[in-house]
Chains A and B, each alone.
Chain A
Amino acid sequence: MTAGHHPTEPSPIERRVAALESLLVERGLITSDVVDAVVETYEHDVGPLNGARVVARAWVDDDYRARLLSDGTRAIGELGYGGAEGEHLVVLENTPAVHNLVVCTLCSCYPWPVLGLPPSWYKSFAYRARAVREPRAVMAEFGTVVPDEVEVRVWDSSAEVRYMVLPQRPPGTDGLDEEALAALVTRDHMIGVVQ
């Protein structure tokens, strides 16, 4: 399942990273369990379901929504989420008049506590180059056509703030509870490449 991972012939980068870790471990400078814990945190505990729960809460609770839009970090903290790359979170509200899209042209800044680690396409040269210059063309490649009368706002996370989009609640979801609403929200909604 892992491209380039052959038991008989490891790639140069696999050998180099293994060499770095092995030497640090052998000298007692780090322990394997700490590296394991970091990997497991993002493989199992922290991912876009956190952000989806934030969105669902905002859809059902107007007071929460107001707190979320005025102080994202604290409101997201109310649900137990926060930490590295979420030290100052700003939530961008999509409305019938405004659609928001998040990018990091310099590298890969991303709100880890609510979305996990970014997908490869978010870190790709194509997305970094194009999202700020032709956001509608990029969104169209995700099947998203934003009506002409809607203002597209692109947010380049270049400093310390990390951004997350609050999508509009889909029509016809009045009867759904918070958990069912959260299941409708994807990572791509919260980056803004889909509506």
Chain B
Amino acid sequence: MGGMHGFGRVEPEADEPVFHAPWEGRTFGLMVATAARGLRAGSIRPAIEVIDPATYLASSYYERWARAVEAQVVDGGSLTHEEIDERAATGGATPVRSEAIDPDLVVAVPGFLDAPQEPSGEAVPARFAVGDRVTVARMAPAGHHRCPRYVRGVTGEVARVPGGWPPPGEEGDPEATYTVRFAMRDLWGDDAEPGSLFIDLWERYLS
């Protein structure tokens, strides 16, 4: 979405609540709880990104999350879209509450959300070093990736080497990432505002 025109002003909301309605909080909570119980795997980003663009733009943030969590739970085999359709047509807005509790998970989940850990990121071999000039690949990948269109084909300079993580959409070996610094005019042309843009990119996107 970086660089697009036509969305208007940024509109802050005074005294904004964390969740605007109970269903937003439940959606967020379900995202975490279904992962903690192994009912869906990995980031919800890939499932958000496959929402068709017209629906994506017409949906609210937590509507997109709800769609993605549902899609991944269905992929995980626990439920079907049809039975969710059926319940949504007949049920109300208040979810059924369990009598059962989960005393271990109810402690473990906030612990995972709210407790210091060792920094993530592996020390992995890195082809580039701070100060190297790098160019982002020209490409049009169809699946999940983390390389925005607006930096593709543009040359910048490695500013930091924060560590390695598994590339998006792949389990397995970590790959070096780089914080690459671009001059705004190299991204947006001679009329650009002055200044710099920093973005983190996996090694596979760079040459």
A binding-site residues for B, Cβ under 8 Å: 2-5, 10-39, 41-43, 45-47, 71, 73-74, 76-78, 80-84, 87-90, 105-108, 112-113, 116-117, 119-121, 123-130, 132-138, 141-142, 148, 151-161, 188
Contact = CB atoms under 8 A, between A and B. Distances in A.
B10 A141 contact: yes
A80 B115 CA distance: 7
Interface residues of B, number: 98
Given A3-B20, A39-B28, A133-B3, A88 B193 contact: no
Nearest to B150: A132
Contacts of B9: 126, 141
Nearest to B13: A120
Given A88-B121, A105-B150, A45 B196 contact: no
B63 A158 contact: no
Interface string B12-25: 11001011111101
9 contacts: A3-B21, A10-B93, A21-B96, A31-B102, A88-B162, A112-B113, A125-B7, A129-B7, A132-B150
A16 B84 contact: yes
Given A82-B115, A121-B10, A128-B1, A18 B91 contact: yes
Given A12-B88, A19-B91, A129 B78 contact: no
A4 B132 CA distance: 52
- Would you list the 3 A-B pairs with minimal beta carbon distance, nearest first? A77-B116, A10-B93, A82-B116
B11 A17 contact: no
Nearest to B102: A31
Nearest to B63: A13
Given A16-B70, A83-B115, A160-B177, A42 B8 contact: no
A20 B30 contact: yes
Given A23-B84, A31-B100, A15 B91 contact: yes
Contact of B93 (A15, A41, A81, A152): A15
Interface string B90-127: 01111111101110011001111111111111000000
B87 A23 contact: yes
Nearest to B196: A153
B73 interface: yes
Nearest to A156: B199
A157 B102 CA distance: 35
Contacts of B100: 28, 31
A74 B36 CA distance: 25
A153 B197 CA distance: 6
Contact of A152 (B101, B118, B179, B194): B194
Contact of B198 (A23, A87, A156): A156
B155 interface: no
Contacts of A38: 28-29, 32-33, 109-110, 113
Contact of A35 (B11, B29, B121, B197): B29
B19 to A, nearest CB: 7
A149 B84 CA distance: 57
Interface in B24-53: 25-30, 32-34, 36-37, 39, 45, 48
Given A16-B70, A25-B97, A126-B7, A84 B1 contact: no
Contact of B10 (A24, A83, A138): A138
Contacts of B11: 121, 124, 126
